[in-house]
Chain A
């Protein structure tokens, strides 16, 4: 290994302001025209082709690539801002006016972008593989779904008829139990940071966590019974103006669930954590499937209300949107705002003390602990932060779909979000947004398009329809990225340096111009000395 790394001369990229603007104008025109139904109608065969979902996905991808170019290319700042803001705030809603499915798709992409950003904190920054991430998304979705639909009245009615022995005393008992157990869990946790856990303290912690759950259940039940008389006034759920309150509540609820799930499992090592989170994610889904009273089981909850903001609707009307489009446009703007906020929070966290602590834990838990990083607390913060993003987007998802059912929250969705993070690059914020856009487009447009196109081909039986190849695609993304480019498509600088420490030499050996000095790593195994420097998937085992 060489001690000195030659400083590679920074390639000077040409200024591409003109090209950026040109592409922006062209793709915008294409997007607007291809979503204008009247105009398409006059085109005949070409119009039908442009309406093909695969072609539409290509058009949308080309258009969204503008934002990527604006991020990547060297161009005048005003041009970057114009392209970025113009495409998101002007062209997309404009095209969406003609074809609301475009707005729907954009909201989906942003929901997944936010989920990927949240998972990125857990997996990319803190290095905790969470395979049940979508559970937090479900928490947000069901929170709003239950309260903003006729479900709430049914639950209250049920408790009105079956109050059991519950009264105000139960509420007090439940709150007391919750407080005591939560306090003792925190205390034991503090204790564990000073001395290694003993059997008694571990058991105490476990018992306290059950007590906490019991306390929460008791309190919730008592609240429901005490409020049962309100059932008649809530036939369609709560007032939509509570939307904003619930936006905050969904963040809080998901974070609390994140902490509750995290507390018992975060002391586990990497792979155990993966399988446990996978399990807990499935538990939440199975519960949603079975607790018919609360979640309406597999039929799902519908209809779910959404907020309606007077001035926003007036603005939308002024801009020429139809009345049934207000809601979708509102959610589009809201999710754009949320992704923006989440992105800012992410960037700030990444550069903060806690962000560095996450990365320290990811790279070497023992060393981080030795440096004074409180392991469990830092991991819990990562879990709760990631969870809260998912919670708020879950609520937006419920409002957009006006329907939630357990099938939206299966393991497969978690793996989809994971593949977005991996594709874009763990730890890289622009990367995971790109990953979210690519995977969502594949999932919602290209695969269904392929499925539709091949539905009538006799040599492809229904059982082999390519419209359901999501697993294959997610799998190929995961494997190919891990083997070939573990830092992702748009890697963060830090991650690239970690994964390609000997980058210059590797490039040489790949071109055949010099012997690979690191190739020797393949002959001698050093599993105990697992250092990041040796991780170079392309050259390590030759």
Chain B
């Protein structure tokens, strides 16, 4: 491979990373919002997200024979995943975290790990009793095809993208649009509504918010509902992007998304998005390091392949926490006694 082919290749790697990054960003929002109100790493969020992916799989599977429009199917899948994941997240909070509200911090954290493990096996059993483990998405026609291919009505756009070296599938574009829409709605919800104001107040200071007449329990439930719904959306998007999910596939994206939340500054919503996009790109670049290593003649780099991608996220996390624990957009908070 020479430099002339390298540039379009690099553009594609970065574009793919951004698409992936949008999925991570939406997952990271679930972590960061819960952390904002409860200072708890919701380990179960990765399973809430996988639940969304499983629901999406089921909706597409059931609707495959129907002649319905593909976008309508997607809408149904997204809504179903949002509702189920959101309610699941609220239920988890109600049953597992709320009784431990005043416990030492280690206690809810360990509970969260436990909930995550339980959900993994419950999901596996639900699909397992139907004889399935790996769930392969059956996407509507054309979703896996080229975005604005030669026959479509927007072939001009497609050819422009092709000239830039971009090779996007239709589902990538759908993914970005859905992610942007969700971000816009979330932004409106958090920054422009009374509910959002109340959630922000609870995140800032639960006691004072309570004194102002805000029912903090309801606001925490609302946060879990919103976070869970975002998890559901990201699950469907993840399933669409990768094609196959199983009950255990939440771990890696979960860790990466959490890293994204920390990278952006935990508790910060724009930070989570920025962190997600950055990590998506970093992850894709790590995946092709061996190719660059070969190109540049650096033997040590050639050994680094996709199996190092998950380490990449951890190393980024360690580096941020050592050098800038507040993240890119986070505020520093000094512990007060």
Residues in A lying within 8 Å of B, measured CB to CB: 123, 127, 129, 131, 202-203, 205-206, 264-265, 268, 270-272, 274-276, 278-280, 282-283, 286-287, 289-290, 366-367, 411, 415, 418-419, 422, 460-465, 469, 471-472, 474-480, 482-483, 486, 521, 524-528, 530, 532, 534-535, 537, 540-541
Are A482 and B114 neighbours in the complex by a CB distance under 8 Å?
yes
Are B117 and A478 neighbours in the complex by a CB distance under 8 Å?
yes
B residues less than 8 Å from A131 (CB atoms): 113
Are A283 and B314 neighbours in the complex by a CB distance under 8 Å?
yes
Is B84 on the interface with A (CB-CB < 8 A)? no
Which A residue sits closest to B96, measured CB to CB?
Answer: A479
Is B311 on the interface with A (CB-CB < 8 A)? yes
Are A280 and B110 neighbours in the complex by a CB distance under 8 Å?
no
Q: Which of B14-22, B64-72, B101-109, B267-275 contacts A (4 or more CB under 8 A)?
A: B101-109
Number of residues in B with C-beta < 8 Å to the partner?
Answer: 63
Are A274 and B114 neighbours in the complex by a CB distance under 8 Å?
no
- CB within 8 Å for A478 and B106 given contacts A272-B325, A278-B255, A279-B255: no
Distance of A528 Cα from B121 Cα, bound (Å): 36
Q: Within B250-308, which residues are at the interface with A (CB < 8 Å)?
A: 251, 255, 258, 262, 303, 307-308
Q: 8 nearest interchain CB pairs?
A: A478-B114, A475-B117, A464-B128, A279-B314, A475-B118, A463-B128, A472-B121, A479-B114
30 examples of A-B residue contacts, CB within 8 angstroms = A206-B323, A265-B318, A265-B321, A270-B106, A271-B40, A272-B321, A272-B325, A275-B317, A276-B321, A278-B255, A279-B314, A282-B311, A290-B303, A290-B308, A367-B337, A461-B131, A464-B129, A474-B114, A475-B113, A475-B115, A475-B116, A475-B117, A476-B114, A478-B113, A479-B118, A482-B103, A525-B101, A527-B102, A535-B102, A537-B100
Are A537 and B318 neighbours in the complex by a CB distance under 8 Å?
no
A residues less than 8 Å from B303 (CB atoms): 290
Given A478-B110, A482-B108, 17 more pairs with CB closer than 8 A: A265-B321, A271-B109, A275-B258, A278-B255, A475-B115, A476-B114, A477-B114, A479-B96, A482-B111, A525-B102, A525-B206, A527-B207, A530-B102, A530-B105, A535-B103, A540-B102, A541-B99
Q: 1/0 per position for B194-212, CB-CB distance to A under 8 A? A: 0000000000001100100
Picked from A272, A286, A525, A527, the residue with its CB within 8 Å of the CB of B311 is A286
- CB within 8 Å for A268 and B321 given contacts A463-B128, A483-B100, A486-B103: yes
CB of B27 to closest CB in A, whole Å: 15
Residues in B lying within 8 Å of A, measured CB to CB: 39-41, 96, 98-111, 113-122, 124-125, 127-133, 206-207, 210, 216, 251, 255, 258, 262, 303, 307-308, 310-311, 313-315, 317-319, 321-323, 325, 335-337
Are A202 and B110 neighbours in the complex by a CB distance under 8 Å?
no
Are B210 and A525 neighbours in the complex by a CB distance under 8 Å?
yes
Are B322 and A540 neighbours in the complex by a CB distance under 8 Å?
no
Distance of A77 Cα from B171 Cα, bound (Å): 73
Please report whether the interface of chain B is mostly helix, strand, loop or mixed according to DSSP.
helix
Are B117 and A482 neighbours in the complex by a CB distance under 8 Å?
no
B residues less than 8 Å from A469 (CB atoms): 121
B residues less than 8 Å from A422 (CB atoms): 110
Distance of A12 Cα from B79 Cα, bound (Å): 62
Distance of A173 Cα from B132 Cα, bound (Å): 57
CB of B43 to closest CB in A, whole Å: 9
CB of A82 to closest CB in B, whole Å: 38
A residues less than 8 Å from B311 (CB atoms): 282-283, 286-287
* Most-contacted residue by chain B among A464, A524, A541 (CB, 10 A): A464
Distance of A103 Cα from B206 Cα, bound (Å): 55
A residues less than 8 Å from B337 (CB atoms): 366-367
Distance of A464 Cα from B314 Cα, bound (Å): 32
A residues less than 8 Å from B262 (CB atoms): 272, 275
Are B115 and A479 neighbours in the complex by a CB distance under 8 Å?
yes
Are B102 and A526 neighbours in the complex by a CB distance under 8 Å?
yes
Distance of A127 Cα from B98 Cα, bound (Å): 22
A residues less than 8 Å from B110 (CB atoms): 129, 418, 422, 478, 482
CB of B329 to closest CB in A, whole Å: 17
Picked from B101, B117, B125, B210, the residue with its CB within 8 Å of the CB of A464 is B125
Distance of A405 Cα from B124 Cα, bound (Å): 26
Are B104 and A532 neighbours in the complex by a CB distance under 8 Å?
yes
- CB within 8 Å for A127 and B106 given contacts A276-B317, A525-B207: yes
Which B residue sits closest to A472, measured CB to CB?
Answer: B121
A residues less than 8 Å from B104 (CB atoms): 127, 530, 532, 535
Picked from B113, B251, B318, the residue with its CB within 8 Å of the CB of A276 is B318
Which A residue sits closest to B317, measured CB to CB?
Answer: A279
Distance of A464 Cα from B124 Cα, bound (Å): 7
* Most-contacted residue by chain A among B102, B108, B255, B335 (CB, 10 A): B102
CB of B14 to closest CB in A, whole Å: 24
B residues less than 8 Å from A474 (CB atoms): 114, 117
CB of B48 to closest CB in A, whole Å: 14
Distance of A282 Cα from B251 Cα, bound (Å): 12
CB of B195 to closest CB in A, whole Å: 19
* Most-contacted residue by chain B among A131, A289, A461, A480 (CB, 10 A): A461
CB of B216 to closest CB in A, whole Å: 6
CB of B237 to closest CB in A, whole Å: 24
Are B105 and A271 neighbours in the complex by a CB distance under 8 Å?
yes
CB of A475 to closest CB in B, whole Å: 3
* Most-contacted residue by chain A among B124, B307, B314 (CB, 10 A): B314
Are A528 and B207 neighbours in the complex by a CB distance under 8 Å?
yes
Are A415 and B308 neighbours in the complex by a CB distance under 8 Å?
no
CB of B244 to closest CB in A, whole Å: 14
